[in-house]
């Protein structure tokens, strides 16, 4: 299965991607994670990307498309979940031009004000990238349940940056919903307060409850 997850920053794409990945045994390709790894490793791409990411803006299409194309060509016909790509119409067109046939595009719908509240509680594992929320999806202790590493707050999760990222989402990423609706592969679910409830809706939308 080749699947795209759409949704505003903080809608729960990363958390749902982890669950879909386990159920269908396919990897998640998260452009945000790849870019953060590039920053951590001090690469040229990472340095360029950081300028945009810290401001809540999209990294330019040409940088992201080249990076994703390498990952996808390595996967060939094997399935995957794309979390955070495409994020603009030119990126979606680039995906089409790569000759990739998608099974579904799943949009997780959450109101902006809920997102702002959620982001302030988000915690991310500094090593494996697993995501938690202090209220909605707390870790068992102070560290990551999966690998035991320290949890941290992402640099771009402060309220002003979150609001900037939401306006970027509405202006540049949301038009992808009608792009994929026209292709007949868009399915939407409401991102509920409880993560498990959203997961149930996600599996139902993917055709297997």
Least distance between ligand AMP and beta carbon 196 (Å): 22
**116-121 long-range contacts, CB within 8 A, separation 24+:** 116/10, 116/159, 116/162, 116/163, 116/166, 118/10, 119/9, 119/10, 119/157, 119/159, 119/162, 120/157, 120/159
The CA distance from 17 to 15, in Å, is 5
Q: Which of 48, 75, 127, 154 is catalytic?
A: 154
Site residues for ligand AMP, window 85-124 (CB under 6 A)? 85, 87, 91
Active site residue 36: no
Closest residue to ligand AMP, based on beta-carbon distance: 32
Active site residue 118: no
Active site residue 122: yes
Under 8 Å between Cβ of 106 and 189: yes
Nearer CB in complex with ligand AMP: 32/191: 32
Q: Does 203 bind ligand AMP (CB under 6 A)?
A: no
Per-residue tokens: 90: 């030119």
The CA distance from 8 to 99, in Å, is 26
Q: Which of 13, 36, 118, 123 is catalytic?
A: 13
Q: Count the residues of the shown chain that bind ligand AMP, applying the rule CB under 6 A.
A: 17
Nearer CB in complex with ligand AMP: 156/209: 156
Q: Does 84 bind ligand AMP (CB under 6 A)?
A: yes
Sheet arrangement for strand 186-190: 28-30, 80-83, 2-7, 104-109, 186-190
Site residues for ligand AMP, window 13-72 (CB under 6 A)? 31-32, 35, 52-53, 56-59, 64
Task: Kindly write out the interface string for residues 139-168 of this chain, putting x where it contacts ligand AMP by CB under 6 A and - elsewhere.
Answer: -----------------x--------x---
SS3 107: strand
- Which residues are designated catalytic? 13, 87, 122, 154, 165
């Amino acid at each position: 299965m080749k699947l795209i997850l759409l949704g505003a920053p903080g809608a729960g794409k990363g958390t749902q991607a982890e669950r879909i990945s386990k159920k269908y045994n396919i990897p998640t390709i998260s452009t945000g994670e790849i870019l953060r790894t590039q920053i951590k490793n001090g690469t040229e791409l990472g340095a360029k990307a950081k300028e945009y990411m810290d401001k809540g803006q999209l990294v330019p299409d040409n940088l992201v498309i080249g990076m994703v194309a390498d990952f996808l060509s390595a996967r060939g016909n094997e399935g995957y979940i794309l979390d955070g790509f495409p994020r603009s119409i030119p990126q979606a067109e680039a995906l089409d031009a790569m000759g990739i046939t998608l099974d579904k595009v799943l949009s997780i719908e959450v109101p902006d004000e809920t997102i702002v509240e959620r982001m302030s509680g988000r915690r991310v594992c500094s090593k494996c990238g697993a995501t938690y929320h202090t209220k909605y999806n707390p870790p068992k202790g102070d560290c990551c349940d999966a690998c035991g590493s320290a949890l941290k707050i992402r640099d771009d999760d402060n309220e002003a940056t979150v609001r900037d990222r939401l306006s970027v989402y509405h202006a540049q990423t949301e038009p992808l919903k009608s792009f994929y609706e026209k292709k007949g592969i868009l399915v939407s679910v409401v991102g509920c307060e409880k993560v498990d409830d959203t997961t149930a809706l996600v599996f139902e939308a993917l055709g297997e409850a």
